[in-house]
Amino acid sequence: MNQYLIELKKITDNYENYQRVEDLQQQLYALSSMIDNDKKDEIKTSIKASDLVTTIMDGFLNKNTVTDIVKSGLASFDSIINGFQKGEFVVIGGRPGMGKTQFLVQLAVNMAKQNKVVAFISLEMSAEMVTKKFLCNLGQLNPDIFNRQVAYPKEVEVGLLGASKQLNELPIYLYENPSSYLNKLLDLIRRLVEDKKTNIVFIDYLQLITIGSRRFNRESEISIICREIKRIAAELDIIIIVASQLSRQVENRPGGSKRPQLSDLRESGAI
């Protein structure tokens, strides 16, 4: 009996100890991931560094031919990060109400205008609410226009009609009430790449993702979530951009400086 059958037998023998179905699903998912990773290790072959030199130098010397970098469309931002690269897992941190979702929407619009297929997965809002944010972004309108029952000037209506036309032409996909369980989220990302040829995935936001197991504390859970998202981004050769909450420490920091630090990312230093 090989090691996988032994692990499977342990899971099935102890199935009565799981409090929820999701706990059992997570154990089976972890075993499946272990098998997949071992299979990949078996077929890996060594690559001589010199074999990659030509590709790397061509990309460096002929920067206009580099296609792996996707610009954010925000000049000041791109001057710092030089755009996003395929295989990256990027975290955008901020306190509640500071505009994380709006920033992700802006990035999604800018990237979709570069003919990149974009998926926007919100674990907090309905697809309709997210669509309104996209319309307001494209029409350069105040997001509150959908929340007030008042008459608006004609230019607001014109702006919305123009935004609707633009959004209809952009390769942006939204999902209604996606599961917040990690394994189902990863399955959705795989389907997005297979069915829609997705290049960039946005997730709003990290702290709403769960493993669904009581075996881990929240810090360990977030560490696993980050590792798995980073792994699938590299595996599928796509960009995954995720919003993350910051802890309240940034607001209470002595000395008056409210500039965020890496240690302010909420719930896990692994982020």
Amino acid letter, 222: I
Are 107 and 190 in contact by the 8 Å Cβ rule? The answer is no
Q: Which of 66, 88, 120 is the last residue of a domain?
A: 66
The pLDDT value recorded for residue 259 is 72
Instruction: Answer whether 0.85 is exceeded by the pTM.
Output: no
The pLDDT value recorded for residue 196 is 92
Q: Which of 66, 87, 118 is the last residue of a domain?
A: 66
In this structure, is residue 271 part of a structural domain?
no
HEC string for 53-70? HHHHHHHHHCHHHCCCEE
Q: How far apart are CA 205 and CA 193, in angstroms?
A: 20
The pLDDT value recorded for residue 231 is 92
The pLDDT value recorded for residue 97 is 79
220 and 181 inside one domain = yes
62 and 74 inside one domain = no
Tell me what the mean pLDDT of segment 176-184 comes to.
Answer: 86
Q: State the residue for tokens 């074999």.
A: 51
237 and 167 inside one domain = yes
Percentage of residues of the chain with pLDDT beyond 70: 71
41 and 75 inside one domain = no
78 and 43 inside one domain = no
31 and 58 inside one domain = yes
In this structure, is residue 270 part of a structural domain?
no
* pLDDT at 110 > cutoff 70: yes
Quote the mean pLDDT of the chain. 79
85 and 188 inside one domain = yes
- Structure confidence by residue, pLDDT tens digits, 116-162: 999 999 998 888 889 989 988 898 888 777 777 666 778 888 888 88
Are 108 and 118 in contact by the 8 Å Cβ rule? The answer is yes
The pLDDT value recorded for residue 105 is 93
Range of the domain at 225: 69-264
169 and 46 inside one domain = no
CB atoms within 10 A of CB 103: 17
For the chain, the domain total comes to 2
Q: How far apart are CA 242 and CA 225, in angstroms?
A: 11
- Structure confidence by residue, pLDDT tens digits, 2-46: 565 666 556 555 655 555 555 656 666 666 666 665 555 544 566
Tell me what the mean pLDDT of segment 242-264 comes to.
Answer: 74
